[in-house]
Amino acid sequence: MLPNLGVDARAIDVELSLNTSLALQDMGEVSALFNDSSDGSLTIQSRGLRGRWSGALVRAECNNDLVQPVENLLRFVVTNELLRSGGACFHAAAVECKDGQGSFLVVGESEAGKTTLAEIFGRAKTLSDEMPAITRNEGEWRVHATPFWGDMGYGEAAGSRSLRGIFVLRGKQELATWRIQPADALQALLARVFNYSSVKEPCEAALAIAREFAETCVVNALSYPKEIAQRDLEAAMQEASARAP
């Protein structure tokens, strides 16, 4: 479950009211993102789509052809609600540690190697290769599987794990990890927080969580070759994460 949303990590219920047929076209940029003052529900509006979020149910009324279906709408909803509740979704891969109780968060831009890293760890140990969620529960940061995937398609790990280490992908040559300074970490993490809104509050929330990770967590850079064995990659990540702040 994604805390504070009441939504299962593998499936989000969606209800659609279609006035026209489905067609494969882009949903367009979000033109409005706001909370209804009467009940606090979130409304997202773009060309041909108006979505209303009031919990685990999304209702979308389409005046034009709807496509790109509902995943974009759900991404807007989940990222916005997480930022409002002190969490965030990152452009990252999330993979289990050896004990199955913790997870590494590995951020990186497109083509940096997130999906390759997830494939090295395997589907059974991957929470996401694209968009894991991070929340804080009783003072502990948790990494959650979400329904949003990249090239890997899907993994088999579900639920959440404690956050054991944060890595920024930097190169694909040899296996290496090195500590990066808070200012560098802040820049790298902030660039990878998913935030589809230009409204002040979500932007401030994205900056706050990136800054907290940069200032209070050990953030390491990671380089690895594509042909590396999973046990060697995980051992290097475990060792780097165990270094004192």
Q: In Å, what is the CA distance from 73 to each residue of 26, 29, 61, 111, 144?
A: 12, 11, 12, 24, 19
Per-residue pLDDT tens digits for 18-36: 333 333 234 445 455 555 5
At what angle are helices 182-190 and 200-216 packed, to 10 degrees?
Answer: 140
CATH topology of domain 88-241: Rossmann fold (3.40.50)
Q: Please report the pLDDT score of residue 28 as a whole number.
A: 46
Per-residue pLDDT tens digits for 163-179: 999 999 998 789 999 99
CA distance linking residue 163 with residue 50, whole number of Å: 35
Q: Please report the pLDDT score of residue 65 as a whole number.
A: 35
3-class SS letters over the chain: CECCCCECCCCCCEEEEECCCCCCCCCCCEEEEEECCCCCCEEEEECCEEEEECCCCEEEEECCCCCCHHHHHHHHHHHHHHHHCCCEEECEEEEECCCCCEEEEEECCCCCCHHHHHHHHCHHHEEECCCCEEEEECCEEEEECCCCCCCCCCCCCCCEEEEEEEEEECCCCCCEEEECCHHHHHHHHHCCECCCCCCHHHHHHHHHHHHHHHHHCCEEEEECCCCCCHHHHHHHHHHHHCCCC
Categorize the per-residue pLDDT at 80 as very low, low, confident or very high, splitting at 50, 70 and 90: confident
Upper half-sphere CA count for residue 67 (Cβ side, 13 Å): 7
pTM greater than 0.75: no
